[in-house]
A = this chain, B = another copy of it.
Amino acid sequence: MIDEILKYNREFVESEGFRQFKTSKYPDKRIAIVTCMDTRLVELLPAALGIRNGDVKMIKNAGGTITNPFDSTMRSLLVAVYELGVNEVMVIGHTGCGVQGMDAEEMLGLMRERGIDEEHISLMRHCGIDLNSWLHGFSDTAEAVNETVDLIRNHPLMAKDVRVAGYIMDSETGLLESL
């Protein structure tokens, strides 16, 4: 599948398909969006928010949440605020998110089935890695978004004048609900 994508890419560049996307690295809308890697949001989210190339910094992970204040997601937000002029942050969860109800033991079972060695899992645990916390999902999307908003707002390195707000997007219609 990657090979097909690479072929498409060469044709895209040869036909100068990039001309309509010309912009700079500074986000014109001065917004950073933290949201989910979900397939349903790839085109729907920018379309539903009217976001074009150059408008925002887009940060995405499974669930669109931040569980660790010194994670790559929080680091990305600090870069966006201090280096790139972002002054508003939207945290956008969505309906039917796969991380809701995700179960660590179930995923470890799938890993064993695909050939991950039980001894390696045991070794990691004895290195102090808490796999069960790390691979556990959230139980309530609104609660998870609110916790992430709270973590960003109160992060000791976040500028106090940055507006941070939480939303849930309907994965079918793109409708945003403010939390």
Which A residues form the contact surface with B (CB < 8 A)?
A: 1-2, 5-6, 8-10, 12-13, 17-18, 21-32, 37-44, 46-62, 65-68, 70-73, 75-76, 78-80, 82-84, 88, 90, 96, 98-99, 102, 107, 110-111, 114-116, 120-121, 123-124, 129, 134-135, 156-157, 159-161, 163, 165, 170-176, 178
How far, in whole Å, are A8 and B157 apart by their CA atoms in the complex? 32
Additional A-B contact list (4), CB under 8 Å, known A62-B72, A116-B157, A123-B156: A13-B174, A79-B99, A120-B156, A124-B156
Q: Tell whether, in the assembled complex, residue B116 and residue A159 are in contact, meaning their CB atoms are under 8 Å apart.
A: yes
Q: A135 CA to B157 CA in the complex, in Å? A: 11
Tell me, in angstroms, the Cα distance from A83 to B27 when the chains sit together: 33
B18 touches A173 (CB 8 A): yes
B80–A62 touching, CB < 8 Å: yes
A61 lies within 8 A of B75 (CB): yes
Which residues on the B side are within 8 Å of A13 (C-beta)? 48, 170, 173-175
Question: Could you say which residues of chain B place their CB within 8 Å of the CB of A38?
Answer: 25, 57
Asked whether, in the complex, the Cβ of B59 is within 8 Å of the Cβ of A39, the reply is no
The answer to whether A98 touches B25, judged by C-beta atoms less than 8 angstroms apart, is yes
The answer to whether A134 and B57 have CB atoms under 8 Å apart is: no
Within 8 Å CB of A165, what residues of B?
Answer: 2
* B9 x A176 contact (CB < 8 A): yes
Chain B residues with Cβ below 8 Å from A58 are 37, 42, 60
Given B22, B65, B102, which contacts A83 in the complex, CB threshold below 8 Å?
A: B102
Contact A23 B40 (CB under 8 A): yes
Beta-carbon nearest neighbor of A82 in chain B: B110
Q: How far is the CA of A38 from the CA of B56 in the complex (A)?
A: 8
Q: Tell me which of B30, B54, B80 contacts A42 (CB under 8 A).
A: B54
